[in-house]
Amino acid sequence: MNAPHEVSLVADDARRSALLAGLAKILPDAALLWKPEDTVPYECDGLAAYRQVPMAVALPDNEDQVCAILRLCHSLQVPVVPRGAGTSLSGGAMPIATGLVLSLAKFKRIVSVDVRSRTAVVQPGVRNLAISEAAAQYNLYYAPDPSSQIACTIGGNVSENSGGVHCLKYGLTVHNVLRVRAVTMEGDVVEFGSEAPDAPGLDLLAAVIGSEGMLAVVTEVSVKLIPKPQLAQVIMASFDDVAKGGNAVADVIGAGIIPAGLEMMDKPATAAVEEFVRAGYDLDAAAILLCESDGTPEEVAEEVERMSEVLRASGASRIQVSQSEPERLRFWSGRKNAFPAAGRISPDYYCMDGTIPRKHIGTLLKRIEEMERKYGLRCMNVFHAGDGNMHPLILFDGADQDEWHRAELFGSDILESCVELGGTVTGEHGVGVEKLNSMCVQFSAQERDLFFGVKAAFDPARLLNPDKAIPTLARCAEYGRMHVKRGLLPHPDLPRF
């Protein structure tokens, strides 16, 4: 079956004219971009290695416009890629050459904050951090906090089911969103979930959350707000060996403690970060753990003491506890700026997103050390240790074809190890275009069929963000052949710089 966007260029020209003419009736001039100089900035998201200039970009500012745009595209069979802030790390918002990018950037209104029910209703273009800022006056906040929270928007968070350093204790986006209002590819407004505890009917809220823009275009989101803890303190624990630090993570959780955050960075990561943001990290340590506790002052004091005991027993060589809110934020600022820091010390970096059972963190880190020698490339490790969600950053120079090839093999090797240790090849960054092949390994043909079936229920014409997130049968068959031939997980679609 050919996807509708794989038609000939002749037809495309006619469709392009019809599309632009139709959009001009729906949107004011300033909200419709079609000249190359205007559309080029939309050619990629945070995974810059995949680039494609779209036919046009629409910037509606109300739901009626979204409905009209989708109806128009549906009638013209034009594929649509919804876009939030474009911070996706897996190419989820990568445009299609013959398609429209539908930006929700103008949906910036915080519709309401209800203190009694501890909820907020927001438009999809509201930045993640802006929700907590609006709720701060009531001493409430929105818990999921991706590292990109200054820039990323709640619509994108919903599409990718974003996490963050606090999701170990407070959950992912799916645990903090109560209701989503959205428009289907055919232009119908639908709602999923409710602010009541249990709505009748099939619960499709979770299916829409994390669906990477394939099911419907989000136009409004109701989120949970939670009371700001009276106090939060973060422990910085140093280890003289990465495996010891990794094992300490399992020890903390195994002791029955669920820290508000539990992150790990190795020496290459702290060194790169420290130069950049002066977070106050222990630069002598082979690895540091950041362990946050929040609650009442009594609860925090007790938990910090218990965690410190466990960390010492696990071999921490030094323990430092933040003594003020500015110091706590400084400790976190390093973690949150680790990716940009990698960009400062290497021409290119390739960020992996595997998950493994916590008990194997030490093992994987040791293996990565060996791989660094094997491939002659450096790797920074920064990750959500509490969740076992690893972000090895392989540093390389994309201009050097050989380095690039070695980086590719290095990445494949890490992912193979994740799977072998009982984990998955992607945690929180989404599948997008980047990890389509890995999905062939993760899911059976029957399970992938169910995904396509649900996709078809929402979008039978396959026009909404098509060819993302779920690999076709043909692709998986091809991948299976390659896998057998090469004897390792290949990445034929890996970024080419």
Q: Which residues bind a second copy (CB under 8 A)?
A: 116, 161, 163, 167-168, 172, 174-175, 184, 188-191, 194, 196-207, 209-211, 215, 227, 250, 253-254, 256, 298, 355, 357, 359, 387-389, 423-428, 430-431, 435, 438-439, 442-444, 446-447, 450-458, 469-470
Task: Return the half-sphere exposure (C-beta side, CA atoms, 13 A cut-off) of residue 348.
Answer: 19
| Helix H or strand E segment including 272 | helix 267-277
Q: How far is the CB of 460 from a second copy (least distance, A)?
A: 8
* Residue 129 in tokens: 């951090």
Shorter beta-carbon distance to a second copy: residue 19 or 431: 431
Q: How far is the CB of 439 from a second copy (least distance, A)?
A: 6
Point out which residues pair with 180 in neighbouring strands: 192, 221
Q: How far is the CB of 207 from a second copy (least distance, A)?
A: 5
Residue type at position 233: Q
Shorter beta-carbon distance to a second copy: residue 116 or 485: 116
| CA pair distance 352, 334, nearest whole angstrom | 19
Shorter beta-carbon distance to a second copy: residue 11 or 226: 226
- Please give the backbone phi and psi of residue 181, each rounded to the nearest 5 degrees, phi first: -105, 135
Q: How far is the CB of 459 from a second copy (least distance, A)?
A: 10
| CA pair distance 283, 43, nearest whole angstrom | 39
Q: 357 by DSSP, 3-state: which?
A: coil
| CA pair distance 141, 170, nearest whole angstrom | 11
* Residue 165 in tokens: 């350093």
Shorter beta-carbon distance to a second copy: residue 149 or 346: 149
Shorter beta-carbon distance to a second copy: residue 162 or 337: 162
Shorter beta-carbon distance to a second copy: residue 206 or 271: 206
| CA pair distance 79, 467, nearest whole angstrom | 10
Q: Is the dihedral of CA 432, 433, 438, 442 positive or negative?
A: positive
Residue type at position 374: K
Residue type at position 413: D
| Helix H or strand E segment including 83 | strand 80-83
Q: How far is the CB of 185 from a second copy (least distance, A)?
A: 12
Q: How far is the CB of 451 from a second copy (least distance, A)?
A: 5
| CA pair distance 411, 396, nearest whole angstrom | 12
Q: 236 by DSSP, 3-state: which?
A: strand
Shorter beta-carbon distance to a second copy: residue 125 or 388: 388
Q: How far is the CB of 142 from a second copy (least distance, A)?
A: 17
Q: How far is CA 273 from the centre of its chain?
A: 21
Shorter beta-carbon distance to a second copy: residue 175 or 318: 175
Q: How far is the CB of 372 from a second copy (least distance, A)?
A: 26
